[in-house]
Amino acid sequence: GQQLNQSPQSMFIQEGEDVSMNCTSSSIFNTWLWYKQDPGEGPVLLIALYKAGELTSNGRLTAQFGITRKDSFLNISASIPSDVGIYFCAGHRGGKLIFGQGTELSVKP
Amino acid sequence: GAVVSQHPSWVICKSGTSVKIECRSLDFQATTMFWYRQFPKQSLMLMATSNEGSKATYEQGVEKDKFLINHASLTLSTLTVTSAHPEDSSFYICSALGLDYNEQFFGPGTRLTVL
């Protein structure tokens, strides 16, 4: 099935550093969402973006809906150990969610 | 609010047996529920969409006779993996879309291991 292109696949950073990850698609999406998944758990919604160009923050997280509606990025500022996990972007179209491949984040204390 | 549960959280079964996984919306009514499959280190892949009281819609490549979905009420959907084989071992996650919400809420997942 169709997937979004998410990068990077993995990141190893030091506590306190900022992180950036992004998703691109060849198709337009009406909504972009960012999720975090901890091992053995379901994904949890972090940020939802509904309008092209929209920039939304949730604490240390900031995400933007690309102006072309084909891309989105997520930034995490001042990372902490509990930020460890897999981050997924997802595009919403036709009542369905299409997920990116995920970015696995490791934070070294 | 908006809690989704799954039962069981993990199951181990022998090859050839059938396994039923339940997905419940605990504090809201879910008009639509979705079933995803996730292999290790991979993304979530949508298997099927189920609407209460009607037949599920399966994604391309998903065998409807192998993965039976029943959405009998506004708070419960079940996925039955029939005649399970080792290649069906995976993490199965459901999500629910409620009348008053515009987002899917995900369950905690069910780890299926077929020996």
Neighbour tally for A16: CB within 10 Å: 11
Query: Which residue among B42, B61, B106 places its CB closest to the CB of A43?
Result: B106
> How far is B37 from B45, CA to CA, in rounded Å?
5
> pLDDT at position B36, please?
97
Question: How far, CA to CA in Å, does B102 sit from each of A74, B2, B14, B30?
Answer: 21, 11, 39, 11
Q: What is the mean pLDDT of residues A25-42?
A: 94
> How far is B74 from B22, CA to CA, in rounded Å?
13
Confidence class of residue A2 from pLDDT cuts 50, 70 and 90?
Answer: low
Contact residues, chain B to chain A, C-beta under 8 Å: 4, 6, 32, 34, 41-46, 49, 59-61, 91, 93, 95, 103-104, 106-109, 111
User: Of A11-15, A55-59, B100-104, which range is least confident?
Assistant: B100-104
> How far is A30 from A40, CA to CA, in rounded Å?
29
> How far is B56 from B37, CA to CA, in rounded Å?
16
> pLDDT at position A42, please?
95
Q: Is the dihedral of CA A57, A62, A68, A69 positive or negative?
A: negative
Q: Is the dihedral of CA B86, B8, A38, B97 positive or negative?
A: positive
Question: ∠ at Cα B11 (A97, B37), nearest 5°?
Answer: 15
> pLDDT at position A1, please?
52
In the A/B pair of chains, how many CB contacts fall below 8 A? 50
Instruction: With a cut of 90, say whether residue B103 has pLDDT above it.
Output: no
Instruction: With a cut of 60, say whether residue B101 has pLDDT above it.
Output: yes
Instruction: With a cut of 80, say whether residue A3 has pLDDT above it.
Output: no
> pLDDT at position B111, please?
97
Instruction: With a cut of 70, say whether residue B18 has pLDDT above it.
Output: yes
Longest dimension (CA), chain A: 42
Q: What is the mean pLDDT of residues A38-63?
A: 95
> How far is A40 from B91, CA to CA, in rounded Å?
8
Tell if the CB–CB gap between B103 and A43 is shorter than 8 Å.
no
Confidence class of residue B1 from pLDDT cuts 50, 70 and 90?
Answer: low
Q: Which amino acid is at B114?
A: V
According to DSSP, the β-strands at B4-7 and B19-25 are: antiparallel
> How far is B94 from B32, CA to CA, in rounded Å?
11
> pLDDT at position B98, please?
80
Neighbour tally for A8: CB within 10 Å: 12
Q: Which residues pair with A13 in a beta bridge?
A: A107
Q: Is the dihedral of CA B23, B3, A77, A99 positive or negative?
A: positive
> How far is A32 from A74, CA to CA, in rounded Å?
11
Q: Which residues of A touch B4 (CB under 8 A)?
A: 42
| Tens-digit pLDDT profile for residues B33-75 | 999 999 998 999 999 999 888 889 999 999 999 999 999 899 9
Q: Which residues of B touch A30 (CB under 8 A)?
A: none
Instruction: With a cut of 60, say whether residue B6 has pLDDT above it.
Output: yes
Cβ atoms of A1 and B60 within 8 Å: the answer is yes
> pLDDT at position B54, please?
86
Instruction: With a cut of 70, say whether residue A18 has pLDDT above it.
Output: yes
User: Of A2-6, B33-37, B94-98, which range is least confident?
Assistant: A2-6
CA A29 to chain B, closest CA, distance in angstroms equals 15
Q: What is the mean pLDDT of residues B68-90?
A: 95
Instruction: With a cut of 80, say whether residue B7 has pLDDT above it.
Output: yes
